[in-house]
Structure 1
């Protein structure tokens, strides 16, 4: 799962993981697996991510490396249609993709280390348990103020709503008698 087909093969062969991580909250907003690391895998992940968030065109940047699945016409056309800027950086430069590379390390060391899977379905279940059951909801992160990604987002949007309400309250007309 991840970078090379021999990284963590299952009894049924390799399983590739594609994920989209929100830079703001570090939340994995979408992920998908496949026996093949191709444009369809990445495109499916993108579709799940788009379905999970309300975003205006021009507000997103899709960071990736120079793999053929990320530079494919199929994916780049979809990004353009959604108004998403593609960012791949220069060859050998890991900065654009560092956040997801960090995710691969976490998935491998915290979620899958020392485990083998007889089937891709069992590996998928382990990924679900780690990503959705632990990482997004319970794994605290120092850069998020020692909150999990979901807690960080909830706190942010609660604070934002409170500030908007306070702003509305201070700008209401004063009744006259």
Structure 2
């Protein structure tokens, strides 16, 4: 593995992932109690593919969903 930190005290590379994990915890996993890791993995993947990428709008990409944003990039 390679660390994603660019240099000491410069954590900008981690900011997008920290934001994503905060959103995942607040919007999905904090409300659930999983019996198994497999159940948790399936729920998280369903949330990412079914909601986060296809329905949830993101202000950083012009209030589009990630799928819509990617489609527009490919069309351009």
Give the TM-score taking structure 2 as reference length: 0.85
What is the CA-CA distance between 1:96 and the residue it aligns to? 1.3
**Residue equivalent to 2:48:** 131
Determine the C-alpha separation between the residues in 2 that align with 1:157 and 1:147: 15
**Residue equivalent to 2:23:** 106
Alignment of 1:143-158 (within 5 A): 143-158=60-75
Give the TM-score taking structure 1 as reference length: 0.40
What is the CA-CA distance between 1:93 and the residue it aligns to? 2.6
Determine the C-alpha separation between the residues in 2 that align with 1:92 and 1:126: 34
Determine the C-alpha separation between the residues in 2 that align with 1:91 and 1:126: 35
Alignment of 1:32-51 (within 5 A): none
Higher relative contact order (CA 8 A, sep 6+): 1
What is the CA-CA distance between 1:128 and the residue it aligns to? 1.0
Q: Note the alpha carbon deviations across 1:81-127, whole angstroms, 9 max, x for none.
A: xxxxxx52223432111111111111111121221101001101111
CA contact (8 A) 2:54 2:67 kept: yes
User: What is the root-mean-square deviation of aligned Cα atoms in Å?
Assistant: 1.6
2:2 alignment partner, one of 70, 82, 91:
70
Moved over 3 A (4+): none
What is the CA-CA distance between 1:148 and the residue it aligns to? 0.4
Q: Larger helix proportion, structure 1 or 2?
A: 2
Larger Rg: 1
Unmatched segments (≥5 aa) in structure 2: none
Determine the C-alpha separation between the residues in 2 that align with 1:145 and 1:105: 20
Unmatched segments (≥5 aa) in structure 1: 1-68, 72-86, 161-177
